[in-house]
Amino acid sequence: DTGVSQDPRHKITKRGQNVTFRCDPISEHNRLYWYRQTLGQGPEFLTYFQNEAQLEKSRLLSDRFSAERPKGSFSTLEIQRTEQGDSAMYLCASSGLAEDNEQFFGPGTRLTVL
Amino acid sequence: RKEVEQDPGPFNVPEGATVAFNCTYSNSASQSFFWYRQDCRKEPKLLMSVYSSGNEDGRFTAQLNRASQYISLLIRDSKLSDSATYLCARSNDYKLSFGAGTTVTVRA
């Protein structure tokens, strides 16, 4: 399968714990994006990378959130001191450098904070 | 006002019917628009890209009206498998801004 993959698919954690998610983009894609989606809403942009450079972060990304893409391939999203409001589906997408910006999404990581 | 707003539905249509719904956007500088399909608890899947006045792919037709700042999606000859949530998105400096989705249910 050459699509975007994410791990884990589900994560249940207790409030205050740290969690880390991984995303592997489509191999030839230079851009990688993180979005968050809650029930009844569309995905909301969190941050994006072009190769290893993090080029934009949303105001939604509080200082408890950090994302990395150290070698320009896979990316990790870490949430520290999780809160119940962090419960959501975390989606990763990737795209090439073309201006059409077609983004392809991975299956997501569903986070539940108890 | 949200950047992208959608007709929430739900649209409940019989098999074989035609269904159409709209999406309005607030940033007139937007160049690229997309329709994604999302099944329950799954990821969004790209359905169509809309760059100029519109696009057609089989039973699906998207129209872009820049003057009125809306995009529409029309599904002809609806199938049961078309039941899903349809998300409209616009591209703004590489990130996508999504609407909340339009739910379509096709009944036998």
**Cα distances (angstroms) measured from residue B12 to each of A86, A99, B73, B79:** 33, 36, 15, 12
Q: Which residue of A has its CA nearest to B39?
A: A107
Q: How confident is the model at residue A101 (pLDDT cuts 50, 70, 90)?
A: confident
The answer to whether the CB atoms of B32 and A104 lie below 8 A apart is: no
User: Mapping DSSP to helix (H, G, I), strand (E, B) and coil, where does residue B25 land?
Assistant: strand
Give the model confidence (pLDDT) of B39-59 as tens digits: 999 999 999 999 788 899 999
CA distance A40 to chain B (A): 6
Q: Give first-to-last CA distance, chain B, whole Å.
A: 37
The answer to whether the CB atoms of B100 and A106 lie below 8 A apart is: no
- Which chain A residues touch B91 with a CB distance below 8 Å? 101
Pick from B95, B73, B96, B76: nearest CA to B85 = B73
Q: What is the mean pLDDT of chain A?
A: 94
CA distance A101 to chain B (A): 6
* CA contacts within 13 A on the Cβ side of A100: 11
CA distance A77 to chain B (A): 17
Give the model confidence (pLDDT) of B73-95 as tens digits: 999 999 999 999 999 999 887 88
- What percent of chain B shows pLDDT beyond 70? 98
The answer to whether the CB atoms of B34 and A99 lie below 8 A apart is: no
Q: How confident is the model at residue A1 (pLDDT cuts 50, 70, 90)?
A: low
